[in-house]
Amino acid sequence: MKIRYELLKTEKNTKARLGRLHTNHGVVDTPMFMPVGTRATVKTLSPEELYDVHSGIILANTYHLWLRPGEDIVEKAGGLHKFMNYKGPILTDSGGYQVFSLAKNKKKDITEEGVHFKSHIDGSNLFLTPEKSIEIQNKLGSDIAMSFDECPPASADYTYMKNSVERTLRWAKRGKEAHKNPNQSLFGIVQGGAYQDLRAYSAKETVKLDFDGYSVGGVANDGESKEDMYRAIDYSIPYIPEDKVRYLMGVGDPVDIIEGVIRGIDIFDCVLPTRLARHGNAFTKHGKINIKNAKYKEDFTPLEDTCDCYCCKNYTKAYIRHLLSVDEVFGKRLLSIHNIRFLIRLTEELREAIKEDRILEYKEEFLKEYQGDSYES
């Protein structure tokens, strides 16, 4: 079966939506944040720890799994769910973003057929096409596959962007034709950078191809401002049908999640919570803190008094600081749990706010306390 999006409610004053996504691996609530498990593991964590933080869908990266262990091994294992022992839904990206970001300093050759580029591991020659991306994702057996798209830099000029949007549309069509798995849904991706007419065109034409869900892509690229990101959403969303789920790729900053939800986005993903954790950073309602700071040396309180995660219920800042200071993995685990839970809790609160038609008030209250990166610096 394909996924089905059930729209429960649209918030009174904004485009924020409360919904439910029915998948072959359970029903999940939206708005939702998806933790990223690049190589079939959300860094340092077990599936049980993900269930504990109320994870819904998780994301795995097609590009990385294609290279190691290879999609054939995952297929022989019975698919990604069995391979990595995750019982909830899984979304795979198309590999497009990695081709353009990991290989950004290496020569690559974009042709109509696909992209020739070098492996980030051993520099060997690779060639990814829309059909190949779909074939790999079919073998990985995710619940949701993504169309293979070009991810041009935010700095691309209008002509480049227009041609790129056209090519991404042709690639989306080819991918859809190559996609045969009735138990895997396929999403289209809206591109067009910061150009209003290109976003509108990309959205309308992508929707004509009739996908199971739609993503707003190309928004977390280097050099893009937050205003450009919000505009890209505003330019795209009006053309996406109400009965399809909307996914903003690669976005995990708390403020961006709130702004995205207000603009009608249902799903987010980002490596931010686990990456921050590895560097000793924790989300708090006041902003990010770095637990390695000497002031936490004798701080025997949890990261957040009001947090319900395993880390906050059992460990103090002083202990987590100690673990990070001596480079012990368990510290990174604890921070990963907290940071993912922080973003999932944020989406839970946003769902409550939508129910009560008070999402703008929620945003205002949140921003009054939250100082982002500038907190503590």
Which residues form the catalytic set?
Answer: 93, 269
The nearer residue to its own copies, 10 or 41, going by C-beta atoms, is 41
Rg (alpha carbons) of the chain, rounded to whole number: 20
Quick check: 46 binds its own copies (CB under 8 A)?
A: yes
Helix (H) or strand (E) holding 341: helix 329-355
Stretch that binds its own copies, among 21-29, 40-48, 96-104, 183-191 (CB under 8 A): 40-48
Q: 130: cis peptide before it, omega within 30°?
A: no
d(CA 81, CA 74): 9
Q: Which one among 21, 23, 33, 44 touches its own copies, defined by CB under 8 A?
A: 44
**Closest-CA residue to 332 (of 287, 273, 251):** 273
d(CA 186, CA 147): 7
What sign has the CA pseudo-torsion 314, 280, 258, 234?
A: negative
Find the largest Cα–Cα distance for the chain.
60
Are the C-beta atoms of residues 247 and 207 closer than 8 Å to each other? no
d(CA 214, CA 245): 6
Quick check: 277 binds its own copies (CB under 8 A)?
A: no
Total of residues contacting its own copies (CB under 8 A): 36
d(CA 38, CA 271): 9
Q: Which of residues 56-85 bind its own copies (CB under 8 A)?
A: 64, 68-69, 73, 76-78, 83-85
235: tokens are 């330019």
Q: Which one among 2, 39, 173, 204 touches its own copies, defined by CB under 8 A?
A: 39
Q: Which one among 178, 316, 357, 371 touches its own copies, defined by CB under 8 A?
A: 316
Quick check: 298 binds its own copies (CB under 8 A)?
A: yes
Instruction: Write down the least CB distance from residue 67 to its own copies, Å.
Output: 9
Task: Name the pairing type of β-strands 185-190 and 213-216.
Answer: parallel
Quick check: 119 binds its own copies (CB under 8 A)?
A: no
Instruction: Write down the least CB distance from residue 62 to its own copies, Å.
Output: 15
Instruction: Write down the least CB distance from residue 316 to its own copies, Å.
Output: 7
Instruction: Write down the least CB distance from residue 116 to its own copies, Å.
Output: 24
Q: Which one among 319, 342, 362, 370 touches its own copies, defined by CB under 8 A?
A: 319
Are the C-beta atoms of residues 376 and 290 closer than 8 Å to each other? yes
Instruction: Write down the least CB distance from residue 120 to its own copies, Å.
Output: 12
Length of the chain: 377
> Tokens 């262990």 — which residue?
69
Quick check: 321 binds its own copies (CB under 8 A)?
A: yes
The nearer residue to its own copies, 78 or 241, going by C-beta atoms, is 78
Quick check: 279 binds its own copies (CB under 8 A)?
A: no
Question: Would you give the binding string for its own copies spanning residues 122-151, x where CB under 8 A is met?
Answer: ------------------------------
> Tokens 């990985």 — which residue?
140
Backbone angles phi, psi at 279, to 5 degrees: -100, 10
Q: Which one among 139, 174, 285, 333 touches its own copies, defined by CB under 8 A?
A: 333
d(CA 285, CA 368): 10
Helix (H) or strand (E) holding 231: helix 226-236
Quick check: 308 binds its own copies (CB under 8 A)?
A: no
d(CA 215, CA 238): 13
Instruction: Write down the least CB distance from residue 283 to its own copies, Å.
Output: 20
Q: Which one among 3, 45, 154, 161 touches its own copies, defined by CB under 8 A?
A: 45
Are the C-beta atoms of residues 208 and 160 closer than 8 Å to each other? no
The nearer residue to its own copies, 26 or 78, going by C-beta atoms, is 78
The nearer residue to its own copies, 158 or 330, going by C-beta atoms, is 330
The nearer residue to its own copies, 173 or 275, going by C-beta atoms, is 275
**Residue ranges that bind its own copies, judged by CB under 8 A:** 39-41, 43-46, 64, 68-69, 73, 76-78, 83-85, 297-298, 300, 314-316, 318-319, 321-323, 325-326, 328-333
